[in-house]
Amino acid sequence: MAVPLNGQWQCQCPPHKRCCKIQPSMLACDLADLASEAKSVLAAGADELHLDVMDGHFVPNMSFAHPVVASLRKHVPDAYLDCHMMVSRPSQWVEAVAGSTKGAGARYTFHLEAVEEDELDVAGVVKLIRDHGMQVGVAIKPGTAVEALSAVVALVDMVLVMTVEPGFGGQKFMPNCMPKVLALRSEHPDLDIQVDGGLGPSTIDAAAAAGANLIVAGST
Ligand X SMILES: O=C(CO)[C@@H](O)[C@H](O)COP(=O)(O)O
**Catalytic residue list:** 52, 196
Query: E strands of the chain, at which residues?
Result: 2-5, 8-11, 21-24, 49-54, 81-86, 106-111, 135-140, 158-162, 192-196, 214-217
Q: Does 69 interact with ligand X (rule: CB under 6 A)?
A: no
| Of residues 120 and 157, the one with the C-beta less far from ligand X | 157
SS3 20: coil
Distance CA 24, CA 19 (A): 16
Find the part of the chain contacting ligand X (CB under 6 A) among 41-49, 89-97, 127-135, 197-205: 197-205
Q: Does 141 interact with Fe ion (rule: CB under 5 A)?
A: no
CA-nearest of 212, 182, 184 to 198 is: 212
Q: Does 217 interact with ligand X (rule: CB under 6 A)?
A: yes
* Residue 30 CA from chain centroid, whole number: 20
Binding mask 25-64 for Fe ion (x = CB under 5 A): ---------------------------x------------
Distance CA 144, CA 177 (A): 10
| Of residues 120 and 212, the one with the C-beta less far from ligand X | 212
Q: From residue 178, give the alpha-carbon distance in Å to each of 72, 81, 162, 175.
A: 33, 25, 10, 6
Find the part of the chain contacting ligand X (CB under 6 A) among 11-19, 36-44, 179-187, 193-201: 193-201
What is the smallest separation between the CB atom of 6 and ligand X, expressed in angstroms? 31
Binding mask 70-109 for ligand X (x = CB under 6 A): --------------x-------------------------
The identity of residue 66, as a single letter, is: H
Longest dimension (CA), the chain: 51
Which residues 150-179 are close enough to bind ligand X by CB under 6 A?
A: 164, 166-171
| Of residues 137 and 198, the one with the C-beta less far from ligand X | 198
Residues making contact with ligand X (CB under 6 A)? 25, 27-28, 50, 52, 84, 164, 166-171, 196-199, 216-220
